[in-house]
Each structure stands twice: as structure tokens, then as C-alpha cells.
């Protein structure tokens, strides 16, 4: 019998909580990867403010925020008028994020919830980031995620999504999937073109390859897309 998308997500959450809170070498590795390891895994993101021309008006939502490394890095760089918001379905990840918080006078908003049913109003954010999340989603949930991003993204805003991707070599892809499934079963490695198709199907008129370079740790290709909705009244170049 096929499980419903809700049951699938609940199953993944149980696996993830057990993994993050465990004492195995894999559990220590994922906690390190979500914290200090992000400096090695996601170095292209250090130039986000420059590359996307971000300023203090950024209203940032980080989906699958983990320990909050990216949110804090952006907040330190931008000094945005509104503190960033991070959402993760893992209570253990959010506990670690709160423990890591260095500036109690400017705490980021940390929310426990589902990325396919975001607890935010329409148009609440003008920058949405989503990393290391979609490998845990089946096609139905990925469609739901894209539709929710479309709903809470302000016209004129941008979303950046990245994930481990396939190499095109079946044996190597099987090995990479095995490496990534240490704590959570059945990761899905989707190519950039596949992610672009899901974004277009969700109604995003602007979709392109974000061209983030491959991961250094672990050494697996990176699929990444930049997408959004033009501001109201925008009709393209004249």
C-alpha cells in the first residue's frame, strides 16, 4: 500500500530526529556538517549578498534551516531591517540552532513546521533559500513545496534552491545516494533541469540555473536553481 505524502513526511521526520539526536559517528557527522561543516560545503553562498545585490530590506526565509548557519551569516552581512526566519521540521535541529545563537538581542525566528504547508502569510518574504531539503521529498511533496514558495514569495522576490545532484553515471549515483542515506532513507538526486521544470510547473515565469559549483564535502555535484516572480506591472524589456 502506498503511503500518503503526509505519512511519508512524518516517517522522514522520525528518521531525521533519531539521526540528529543519536550518538553514532554518522550522527556526529551530520551535526558537524550542519554547523562548522557548512563553511566547506556551501562556500559559494558566502557571496550571496554581492551576487544577488541584497541589502537591509531583505526579508529572508531559510527552508530546512538546520542549525541556522546560513541565516546568521546573511544577517551578519546585511544587518537587515527584519531578522531572518528559519523553518525546519526537526525539533532537534532547531534546538541546536537556538544553542548556537550568538546574539540574543537579535534572535532569528525559528519555526518548526512543514515546508509543504508554510505557516506564513502570502508575500511575506522577498528572498527564500532552500538547501539540502528536496532530496527528502517525493514528487508530490516537491510540487507542494514549489507552490508554497510561490505563495509566500513577494512579487519581485527571488528564491534560491540547491541540492545534491546526479552525476549521470548510474553506479556513481547509487554510491552517492548510499552515502547520503546514512540517516534518512531513499534520498532523491534530481538534476538542475528537473528542478527547473518543477519551478515552471508551479507558475514561476523566471527560472534559471544558479550555477553554484559542486560540493567539496562530500564531493557530489550540486543542482541549483534561481527563480522568482517579476514585480507587479513588469512587462519585460522594451
Does 199 have pLDDT greater than 80?
Answer: yes
Q: What is the rounded CA–CA span in Å between residue 236 and residue 217? A: 39
Domain that holds residue 57: 5-228
Does 6 have pLDDT greater than 70?
Answer: no
Would 236 be classed as within a structural domain?
no
Would 33 be classed as within a structural domain?
yes
Confidence of residue 108 (pLDDT cuts 50, 70, 90): low
Q: What is the rounded CA–CA span in Å between residue 65 and residue 100? A: 13
Nearest of 90, 42, 27 to residue 64 by alpha carbon = 90
Would 195 be classed as within a structural domain?
yes
Query: CA-CA distances (angstroms) from residue 13 to 16, 20, 37, 62, 112?
Result: 5, 10, 22, 18, 11
Instruction: Give how many domains the chain has, as a whole number.
Output: 1
Would 90 be classed as within a structural domain?
yes
Would 235 be classed as within a structural domain?
no
Using a pLDDT cut of 70, give the percent of the chain over it.
78
Residues 6+ apart with CB under 8 A from 25: none
pLDDT recorded at residue 101: 79
Does 97 have pLDDT greater than 60?
Answer: yes
pLDDT recorded at residue 73: 86
Confidence of residue 203 (pLDDT cuts 50, 70, 90): very high
Q: What is the rounded CA–CA span in Å between residue 141 and residue 146? A: 9
pLDDT recorded at residue 90: 87
State residue 172 phi and psi, 5-degree precision.
-70, -40
Looking up residue 176, the CATH number of its domain turns out to be 3.40.50.150
Q: What is the rounded CA–CA span in Å between residue 187 and residue 5? A: 15
Mean pLDDT for the stretch of residues 192-205? 97
Would 134 be classed as within a structural domain?
yes
Mean pLDDT for the stretch of residues 5-23? 66
State residue 50 phi and psi, 5-degree precision.
-70, -45
Would 39 be classed as within a structural domain?
yes
pLDDT recorded at residue 84: 93
Gyration radius of the chain's alpha carbons = 17
Q: 222 and 209 in contact (C-beta within 8 Å)?
A: no
User: If you count DSSP H runs as helices and E runs as strands, how many of each does the chain have, helices first?
Assistant: 9, 7
* Helix orientation angle between 5-20 and 139-152, rounded to the nearest 10 degrees: 90
pLDDT recorded at residue 238: 42
pLDDT digits (tens, 9 = 90+) for 139-198: 999 999 999 999 999 999 999 999 999 998 999 988 888 777 766 677 899 999 999 999
pLDDT recorded at residue 47: 81
pLDDT digits (tens, 9 = 90+) for 44-64: 677 888 888 999 999 999 999
Would 59 be classed as within a structural domain?
yes
Amino acid at each position: 500500500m502506498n503511503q500518503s505524502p503526509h505519512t511519508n513526511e512524518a516517517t522522514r521526520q522520525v528518521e531525521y530526529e533519531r539521526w540528529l539526536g543519536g550518538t553514532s559517528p554518522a550522527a556526529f557527522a551530520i551535526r558537524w556538517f550542519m554547523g562548522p561543516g557548512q563553511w566547506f560545503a556551501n562556500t559559494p553562498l558566502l557571496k550571496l549578498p554581492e551576487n544577488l545585490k541584497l541589502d537591509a530590506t531583505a526579508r529572508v526565509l531559510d527552508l530546512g534551516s538546520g542549525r541556522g548557519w546560513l541565516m546568521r551569516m546573511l544577517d551578519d552581512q546585511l544587518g537587515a531591517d527584519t531578522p531572518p526566519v528559519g523553518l525546519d521540521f526537526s525539533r532537534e535541529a532547531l534546538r541546536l540552532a537556538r544553542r548556537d545563537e550568538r546574539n540574543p538581542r537579535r534572535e532569528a525566528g525559528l519555526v518548526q513546521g512543514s515546508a509543504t504547508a508554510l505557516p506564513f502569510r502570502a508575500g511575506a518574504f522577498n528572498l527564500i533559500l532552500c538547501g539540502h531539503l528536496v532530496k527528502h521529498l517525493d514528487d508530490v511533496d516537491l510540487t507542494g513545496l514549489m507552490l508554497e514558495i510561490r505563495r509566500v514569495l513577494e512579487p519581485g522576490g527571488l528564491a534560491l534552491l540547491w541540492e545534491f545532484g546526479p552525476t549521470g553515471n548510474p553506479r556513481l549515483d547509487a554510491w552517492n545516494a548510499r552515502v547520503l542515506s546514512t540517516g534518512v532513507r531513499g534520498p532523491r538526486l534530481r538534476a538542475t533541469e528537473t528542478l527547473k521544470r518543477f519551478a515552471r510547473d508551479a507558475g514561476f515565469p523566471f527560472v534559471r540555473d544558479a550555477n553554484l559549483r559542486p560540493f567539496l564535502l562530500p564531493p557530489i555535484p550540486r543542482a541549483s536553481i534561481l527563480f522568482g516572480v517579476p514585480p507587479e506591472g513588469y512587462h519585460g524589456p522594451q
